[in-house]
Structure 1
Amino acid sequence: MPPYIPLIIDEKIMAYSDVRDLEWPNYEDLYLPKLVPFLRDAKQALQYIKDLQLGKDAIILATYPRSGTHWIWEITGMLLKGKAEYSKVSREQVFVEGLSDMSQMQSYNGVISTHVPFEWLPKQHVDNGGKIIYVVRNPKDTAVSIHSFLCSIGLIRSNTFEEFIHELYLGRKAMYGGWFEYNKSFIQEARRRDQILMLSYEKLKRNTEAEIRRLASFLGVKCTEGLITEISELTSFSKLQQADKSVREDKKMADIMKELQLNEAPTVYRKGEIGDWKNYFTVALNEEFDKAYAERMNDVDLQIEFE
Structure 2
Amino acid sequence: MAVDVCDMEIPVYEGLHLPKIPTFLKDPGHTLTSIRDLMLGPDAIILATYPRSGTHWVYEMTEMLLKGKAEYCSNSRETVYLEGFSDLGQMHLYNRVVSTHVPFQWLPKQHVSGCGKIILVIRNPKDTAVSMFKIFNSSGYIKDTSFEDFVHEDFLGPKAMHGGWFEYNKDFLKKAATLKNQMLVIEYEKLKRDTKEELLRLARFLGVKGDNQLIADIEDKCSFNKMKEADKVVRDDNLMAETMRELSLNENVVVYRKGEVGDWKNYFTVALNEEFDKVYMEKMTEIDFIPEYE
In 1, Cα distance between equivalents of 2:225 and 2:67: 22
The residue type paired with residue 230 of structure 2 is: A
What is the CA distance between 1:217 and its match in structure 2? 0.4
What is the aligned partner in structure 1 of residue 271 from structure 2? 284
Where in structure 1 are there 5+ consecutive unaligned residues? 1-13
* Whole-angstrom distance in 2 between the partners of 1:96 and 1:260: 18
CA distance in 2, matches of 1:105, 1:95: 10
* 2:182 maps to amino acid: Q
- The 1-side partners of 2:235 and 2:13 are apart by 34
Q: How much does 1:100 deviate?
A: 3.6
Quote the residue 2:208 is aligned against: 221
Q: How does 1:231-250 map to 2 (within 5 A)?
A: 231-250=218-237
Q: What is the rounded CA distance, in whole Å, between the counterparts of 1:306 and 1:252 in structure 2?
A: 34
Give the Å deviation of 1:137: 0.4
In the alignment, residue 274 of structure 2 is paired with which amino acid?
E
C-alpha separation between the residues in 2 aligned to 1:279 and 1:106? 44
Q: Does 1:82 align with 2:68?
A: yes
Letter in 1 for 2:143: R
RMSD over aligned CA atoms reads: 1.0
Residue 13 of structure 2, aligned match among 21, 27, 43? 27
Residue identity opposite 2:97 in structure 1: V
Over 3 Å off, 4+ runs: none
2:119–2:183 Cα contact (<8 Å) kept? yes
**1:168-192 deviation line (CA, Å, top 9, x unaligned):** 1101220100000000011111111
> Quick one: percent identity of the two aligned structures?
60
Match of 2:49 in 1: 63
Task: Confirm whether residue 161 of structure 1 aligns to residue 147 of structure 2.
Answer: yes
Cross-structure match for 1:11: none
Displacement of 1:62 in angstroms is 0.3
- Counterpart residue number, 2:289: 302
Q: Deviations over 1:112-168 (max 9, x none)?
A: 000000000000000100010111100000000011111111010111111111111
* Selected match of 2:27 from 41, 56, 67: 41
Matched, 1:149 2:135: yes
TM-score normalised per structure 1: 0.93
Partner of residue 200 from structure 1, selected from 167, 187, 191:
187
- Counting only pairs closer than 5 Å after superposition, residues 115-134 of structure 1 correspond to structure 2 as 115-134=101-120
Greater displacement, 237-246 / 16-25: 16-25
Residue aligning to 1:266 = 253
Deviation (angstroms), 1:223: 2.1
Counterpart residue identity of residue 63, structure 1 = T
Which whole-Å CA distance do the structure 2 matches of 1:101 and 1:288 have between them?
Answer: 42
Cα distance in 1 for residues equivalent to 2:10 and 2:3: 16
What's the CA shift string for 1:65-99, capped at 9, x where partnerless? 00000000000000000001111111110011123
Give the distance between the partners of 1:127 and 1:305, measured in 2 at CA. Answer: 31
Give, in whole Å, the separation in 2 of the partners of 1:102 and 1:22.
Answer: 25
Distance 2:173 2:91 in 1: 26
Q: Which residue of 1 aligns with 2:238?
A: 251
Checking the alignment, whether the CA contact within 8 Å between 2:3 and 2:247 is kept in structure 1 is no
Question: In structure 1, what is the equivalent of residue 159 of structure 2?
Answer: 173
Give the C-alpha shift of residue 28 in structure 1: 1.8
Letter in 1 for 2:215: I
| Other-structure match for 1:5 | none
Gaps of 5+ in 2: none
